[in-house]
Amino acid sequence: MTTEGGRVQDIAHSRKESSLKNATLLSRICFSWAYPLLKLGAKRPLQEIDLDELDTLDTSAYNKSKIEEMWQQEIISKRKNLARALFSDYLKTTWLAQVLMCINMGARIVQAWALGLLMEQFGRFDVGDSSDGNGSVDAKNAYFYSGMIILSGLVAFQFSKRENSYRDPITRTPPIK
Q: State how far the Cα of 77 lies from the Cα of 84, in Å rounded to an integer.
A: 12
Q: What are the DSSP calls for 131-174, one per residue?
A: TSSTT---HHHHHHHHHHHHHHHHHHHHHHHHHTT---TTT--P
| pLDDT tens column, 73-101 | 888 888 888 888 889 888 888 888 888 88
Residue 60 lies in a domain: no
* pLDDT surpassing 50 at residue 57: yes
Q: What is the pLDDT of residue 162?
A: 55
Task: Check residues 167 and 71 and name the one with the higher pLDDT.
Answer: 71
Residue 92 lies in a domain: no
Residue 165 lies in a domain: no
Average pLDDT over residues 160-170: 51
Average pLDDT over residues 22-38: 86
Task: Check residues 2 and 95 and name the one with the higher pLDDT.
Answer: 95
Residue 27 lies in a domain: yes
Q: What is the pLDDT of residue 126?
A: 55
| pLDDT tens column, 108-133 | 898 888 888 888 887 776 555 545 55
Instruction: Name the band, by pLDDT with cuts 50, 70 and 90, for residue 170.
Output: very low
How many CA atoms lie less than 13 Å away from 137 in the CB half-sphere? 16
Q: E strands, the chain, where? A: 2-4, 7-9
Residue 12 lies in a domain: yes
The mean-pLDDT minimum among 39-53, 120-134, 152-166 falls in 120-134
Is residue 85 within 8 A of residue 73, CB to CB? The reply is yes
Residue 100 lies in a domain: no
Q: State how far the Cα of 17 lies from the Cα of 19, in Å rounded to an integer.
A: 6
Residue 43, domain extent: 1-53
One-letter amino acid for residue 97 of the chain: A
Residue 36 lies in a domain: yes
Q: What is the pLDDT of residue 24?
A: 85
Residue 28 lies in a domain: yes
Average pLDDT over residues 58-73: 89
Q: State how far the Cα of 98 lies from the Cα of 87, in Å rounded to an integer.
A: 14
How many domains are contained in the chain?
A: 1
